[in-house]
Chains A and B, each alone.
Chain A
Amino acid sequence: MAGLAPRVEYLAGFCCPLGGLAAGKPRVLCHGAEIFLSTGSELVYVYDRDGRLLTAVYKFPGRVWHLELLALGRALYVLCARSGIYCLSLDQDGRNDRDNQDGEAGEPPAPVIPVDPGACVLPDATLCAFTVLDNVLVALAQGPAQWKLQLFERPCPGQDPRPGGQIGEVELSTCTPPSGSLGEPAAPCFLPVLCCASPPGPGVPHGHVQGSGGVTLEEALFGLLFGADASLLESPVILCGLPDGQLCCVVLKTLVTSRSAPGDPKALVKILHHLEEPVIFIGAVRTEPLAEATGDAHSDCLVALGHHGRTLAIKASWDEVGHLVPELREYCLPGPLLCAACGEGGRLYHSTPSDLCVAHLAQGGSPWDPMQPTGLSVCSVVTLSVSSRAPEGSTELLALSARGRLMTCLLDPHSEAPCPTRVTVANAGRKIKELLSGIGTVSERVSSLKKAVDQRNEALACLNEAMNVSCALLSSREGPRPISCSVTPAWSRLQLQDVLTATCLLENSSSFSLDRGWALCVQVLSSARALDLDSAGSAVTYTIPLDQLGPGGRREVTLPLGPGEDGSLDLPVTVSCALFYSLREVLGGALAPRDPFEEPPSEECPPGVLPEQEGVCLPLSEHTVDMLQGLRFPGLAAPPVRAPGQLGPAGDPVHTFLQTCRGPGGQLAGPESLRAKYLPPSVATIRVSAELLRAAFGDSHAGGPLCSATLQWLLAENTAADVVRAQALSSVQGVAPDGADIRLIIREVSVTDLCPAGPLQAVEIQLESSSLANMCRAHHAVVGRLQRLVVQQAARGSSPPDLRLQYLHQIQANHETLLREVQTLRDRLCTEDEAGSCATAQRLLQVYKQLRSPSLLLL
């Protein structure tokens, strides 16, 4: 069979949308010399093969989804999306015979005949598929939750739509996703497929065009699949392949129900199989060679194809004791499949984006070998039909390519190897034309394959680059990283509000460039209850695509940290930066390059190809913005952040009150605003040994006073650091993000009773604020810094001076008692009622205050 080289003849070109035609909706039918064709647009073309010209173009009110031709009644049935089924009589003389023009001119030379809405014989916006038999029409409608199979008396052309024409209905037991908002149905991606299977016999519906959906099955297979009743009644059976993969059947004669009331699905619908992928084709072939003397060749093998290539073949066979048993086989053809058709001799023609293949279901002695489809070198055929005009022993296929080209492929299994023959003048022209159209199909195929290869190369290059970047980042755990991200907080005025922003500066000092697919992810985690360890704060993630960041390039991104809509800003805020590489974005196109005609294009990748997270995430840095960085110092000369008198919410105590009430610590913060005026501010002190600080600051602050140096160190990441340095301040008054003021006072003290060797020099950091919450946040920030400092110093191995251990023990014991009390108080707070909890809260505050102003000295 390898010598099965098709003779491709190019007939006509039709206009197609950018990107080619999508499979599933175009149709091509052939009746005698007439070819009926729809490309999925509103037009239906009638092409005359003998005259090689377009004889008519009909324009329908909606996109055409399906065509059926009833040759006997000379009627063409057309399903229009969202409109219904139209019926045209082919005998009407609505078209003019214009002067002969070559059909290859592409755009319709024939007049476009708009179809009158009166030709609509079955107005129903929910119809998705239909098939016509001799005297009935079977339609599949999409209900809100199910598919509904409806049976109508076959309407004739020109007939008024009659609501009484419906003679039966049954719901198929499939759920489709619920429709959109306010009941608007969404456009289906795959349409269901209908096929009418008839038993052999006189009662078989005739007049069906080959390839337009009707098959005649052998008695044994028919009875086996559909039951004794169906074969006794000689009733046609409607096979229905749904987009979810279900293959079910309904015996037509049982579908007649009284007064169009829906029938019982359990009794009427039988599910034959589930392909688990959209069914795109149902057909039947003859696989066994015919016994001599018998007349008609009825199909003995039912075939159903899924979109991704899964193929089901059902035959009837007898087991060893003579029982009739079904023989089900499943294969996997290389998908995705665009369309298919069944031919003589057990051949199954199917089209993929890259080739038109033929699979043999009847191969000699071992008919059930895994199929080895043979390619025919015609690509991207979106619809196929077996023509009835082929010469004896060969098959002719009518095909419409994705580029809108109509062609015929003549497959002659007995054709001799091409041998040089004498070219006569008469057939030279034909030969040349054949060659030209052959070149046309080949070039179309080449360009499609090339596109796929380019796409893959590009994707591979991207992947390689991504690998390099990942390796570089992951291998340099220690030391400076080749790609770094630093975060700087600052206040700025956005719109009408002062906003604390974080500026992330991404620097690429590696030798690779960050291209398409890379994105900078910044996660802002506001630890709303930083002290409340069990509750996680709310996180916001910003993803900024990096279009092109070459070596040495830098990208700056400024993100708002708050305050949010409710005016609150919960410091500290953690800003984590990471690089994200999206596999989906880079590979999405390349992984399914064989299916560029799928609709919609970015719908899904084949399952199982991409990992769960669909990307690579490389953490870069994490930064905590705390109260000390969020403080503003309007009192300092420079930089002037805002004009005086616009001190924000602090000016309005009611506002402050409301805001603090709404804050997380509502109950505790409630009296704060009053306290700001009438009560002494909350105070916390921390003492640090001067020696420790000196050691930490090293030479940089050797000259200046220690207090000022400490303040500079604390505010190092604040914009006010320069002013502090310049003025050598040892105390400063700032404004918290919510407007409450905070004082930082640094002074040198000496601690006498700790060390036996004499008084220790220490620095006392005092925090004052009218708002308890702010004071706590500032305290938290200072303590955090000191902790880091101590850890650093400990790493350097500095030795603490001699201490009075008993004193330390005393302090520790005191603290432990206090902590225990805190614990019990907090427990009580959870269980008590309002009045009691108020008292408890008061007590808790006092204990916290004691804890905060200890005489503990950091050494």
Chain B
Amino acid sequence: MAHKTLLGSSTSHDSCLDLWREKNDQLVRQAKVAQNLSLSLRRQQLVQDVLEGLRGLLHSLQGLPATVSVLPLELTVICNFITLRASLAQGFTEDLAPDIQRGLERVLETQEQQEARLEHRLRGLWDSVLHVSSLLPELLPALHHLAGLQAALWLSTDRLEDLTLLLQTLNGSESSASEELLLLLKTWRPPVETSDAPLTLQDARSLRDVLLTAFAYRQGLRELITGSLPRALSSLHEAASGLCPRPVLVQVYTALATCLRKMGKPQRALLYLVEAVKGESIWGPPLLEASRLYQQLGNTAAEIESLELLVEALSVTHIPEAPQLLIEVELLLPPPDPASPLHCGTQSQAKYLLASRCLQTRRVEDAAEHYLDLLALLLDGSEPKFSPPPCPPGPCVPEVFLEAAVALIQAGRAQDALTVCEELLSRTSSLLPKRPRLWEDARKGTKESPHCSPWISAIYLLQGQAWVQLGAQKEAVSEFSRCLELLFQVTPKDKEPGPASSCEHGCTSDVVLQQLRAAALISRGLEWVAGGQDNKALQDFLLSVQVCPGNQDASFHLLQTLRRLDRRDEAIAFWQRLEAQTDLPQENATWSLPLYLETYLDWIRPPDREALLEEFRTSLLTCDLK
């Protein structure tokens, strides 16, 4: 074949062009063969060969001065090359831009408009090229194809202004008034390639359809997140009505359901979700959305059931099919973002969600079981595959342990709760400040307070509560005292010289520390009450009111104890202060507390607050009547 590569006459030029064309067509056919192969190594090699072949062909084409007769082929080869590279890399990245730019410069070379490329970047190049191409109609199909790839690149890199301008130019003057990108994409008609044109991996029209769907979906998702719901609804409808592979359709339906739920139309949302889970593909996002929907509707049973299904669905490892060697909608979707409403996380994250919802909705038995499952999932090293902890969007790992202990205590399994707490302590013991010396120092009254995470105090608090449940008063009181000792050593300003958990900053707030102190004091006070030592109890309750003035529970406990001790005047004075406080608008103090603490505070809440208040009111009245 070597003799044909000489460019002596026009006939050999033609034959050379034919040769290159034949090479391109053969490579495209080879890629289509590789597409249908299942064996992935063989397939990969074949695809790599095609890629190298296209690269080589492009090298030889671009080694010669650009001519109008060869350019359609050259642009087609560039398009095939970019399509293959993008589909192999599963995404459009900036490193494809130079290939496009080179192609455009080659077009300008034929027009001797070299100066244009010095002045402009891609945007300006396209302007010049499309201006030139009006003189060269034979280039138009290939140029539109290349423009489609450019559009895909700009869509992926979120350069929507450039994209709008490009489409306006492509559509010609009649629609240049329109700013709406969706409309521009719809009205763009890439010219049909003639039947004798060189083969392509994907034609410009199908690329246009892919762009349309991908753009509508991206825009809909963006509007959904920013909260412009009606617009999001229409964009997502547009995406769903377009050319849409099944996995993408599931996501579109889920997004539609989210949108409708937020708009207050749960029944229609449910219809979309049913549609979404019908297929054989991914169930994660629709199931998560379903649980949110049921939560909003107040249907706890259905909510928990959806979450259970979600955990099950996520335990199936999804083996993706070998990607198509084309630009598909999936390639142009935004990268997965944990903040997106469609993010369904991993199995252990779903498990955590399930467990914590059970705990919140007082399904204590289930909650305990789910938490134990979750811990097993996280800690069992012999599992063939890891499952990540639910952080960072969820709580940090120590908090998961604490919630598990809380759930166990609530389910009446105090012994198990103690085990969990001990496990947590043993695993983190090396990170604690050196204990013996510190204890010594603390006894000696050293001023320096060692850093200690609040969750370590919380372990002792829960251990105490477990002992309470087991009826071991002495152990309980000693755990509570230990907890208090630690808590009062911590100054909130004392930040992080030691090992930090991934989200410790979130739970070291002053409020948490205050509430922990109050909880520990009340708990110990209650134990004193149970042991009949009302004076000691009174002391603790008084202290807890001082430590955390906003905590009404402490006040009630104090009130009750005062009454029991028959210190009536003090009780009435205190009650009056309390009444005045209750009249004030109550700020919700428990609002940002971790789940374990919130649940714990529920436990030590006096059961008959209203009755007590009523009793006081009446007794006061009788007092006045006397």
Contacts and interface: CB of A to CB of B under 8 A. Distances in A.
A518 B488 CA distance: 78
Interface string B320-337: 101000000000000110
A533 interface: no
A117 B427 CA distance: 45
B500 A233 contact: no
A229 B500 CA distance: 8
Residue of A125, A153, A324 with highest tally of chain B CB at under 10 A: A324
A552 interface: no
Given A182-B99, A256-B346, A325-B497, 8 more contacts: A120-B41, A164-B319, A182-B55, A183-B99, A257-B346, A258-B343, A322-B434, A323-B450
Interface string B85-112: 1000100011100010000000000000
Interface in A183-241: 183-184, 202-204, 218-220, 223-224, 227-229, 231-235
Nearest to B317: A164
Nearest to B336: A261
B386 A136 contact: yes
Contact of A321 (B94, B284, B429, B450): B450
B279 interface: no
B338 interface: yes
B427 A258 contact: no
A343 B322 CA distance: 46
B115 interface: no
5 contacts: A163-B322, A164-B320, A202-B381, A228-B398, A235-B386
A135 B433 contact: no
B227 interface: no
A322 B497 CA distance: 11
B450 A227 contact: no
A220 B431 contact: yes
B427 A135 contact: no
Residue of A163, A184, A256, A259 with highest tally of chain B CB at under 10 A: A259
Contacts of B319: 162-164
A117 B41 contact: yes
Interface string B389-420: 10110001110010000000000000000000
A324 B499 contact: yes
B497 to A, nearest CB: 5
A232 B428 contact: yes
Residue of A178, A202, A228, A321 with highest tally of chain B CB at under 10 A: A228
A438 interface: no
A160 interface: yes
A20 interface: no
Interface stretch (A11-19, A28-36, A247-255, A553-561): A247-255
B320 A163 contact: yes
A378 to B, nearest CB: 39
Contacts of A123: 40-41, 44-45
Contact of A253 (B284, B344, B386, B453): B386
Interface string A669-680: 000000000000
Contacts of B29: none
Interface residues of A, number: 58
A261 B346 contact: no
Contacts of B338: 264
B501 A227 contact: yes
Interface string B47-64: 010000001001100000
A220 B427 CA distance: 11
A560 B617 CA distance: 114
A262 B335 contact: yes
Contact of B499 (A145, A228, A254, A322): A228
B40 A160 contact: yes
A118 interface: yes
A588 interface: no
A232 B397 contact: yes
B430 A220 contact: yes
Top 9 A-B pairs ranked by shortest CB distance?
A164-B319, A203-B381, A219-B430, A322-B433, A228-B501, A261-B336, A223-B431, A256-B388, A321-B448
B500 A228 contact: yes
Nearest to B323: A163
A469 interface: no
B448 A223 contact: no
Contact of B58 (A120, A182, A227, A323): A182
Which DSSP category, helix, strand, loop or mixed, fits chain B's interface? loop
B389 A324 contact: no
B546 to A, nearest CB: 28
Contacts, number: 170
Contacts of A423: none
A842 to B, nearest CB: 31
Contacts of B389: 229, 233, 253-254
A324 B450 CA distance: 10
Residue of A219, A229, A254 with highest tally of chain B CB at under 10 A: A229
A260 B40 CA distance: 17
A614 B319 CA distance: 57
A232 B427 contact: yes
Nearest to A319: B497
Contacts of B284: 258
A254 B391 contact: yes
A145 B93 contact: yes
Interface in A122-167: 123, 125, 135-136, 144-145, 153, 160-164, 167
A628 B34 CA distance: 73
A563 B434 CA distance: 85
A267 interface: yes
Nearest to B502: A229
B385 A231 contact: no
Contact of B335 (A144, A145, A261): A261
Nearest to B85: A183
B44 A233 contact: no
B437 interface: yes
Contacts of A322: 433-434, 437-438, 441, 450
A750 interface: no
A318 B389 CA distance: 29
Contacts of A261: 335-336
Contacts of B498: 224, 323-325
B95 A178 contact: yes
Given A135-B384, A229-B501, A234-B381, A224 B431 contact: yes
A621 interface: no
Contacts of A203: 379, 381-382
Interface string B126-154: 00000000000000000000000000000
A229 B501 CA distance: 6
B157 to A, nearest CB: 12
Contacts of B55: 182, 184
A223 B499 contact: yes
B345 interface: yes
B161 to A, nearest CB: 23
Given A123-B41, A254-B389, A256-B387, A267 B431 contact: no
Given A233-B379, A254-B391, A323-B498, A223 B430 contact: yes
B73 to A, nearest CB: 17
B451 interface: yes
Contacts of B451: 323
A326 to B, nearest CB: 9
Contacts of A153: 384-385
A511 interface: no
B41 A227 contact: no
Contacts of B424: 232
A519 B39 CA distance: 60
Nearest to A322: B433
Contacts of A160: 39-41
Contacts of A235: 386
A227 B387 contact: no
Contact of A167 (B336, B345, B385, B398): B385
A260 B429 CA distance: 35
Contacts of B572: none
Nearest to A320: B448
A718 to B, nearest CB: 40
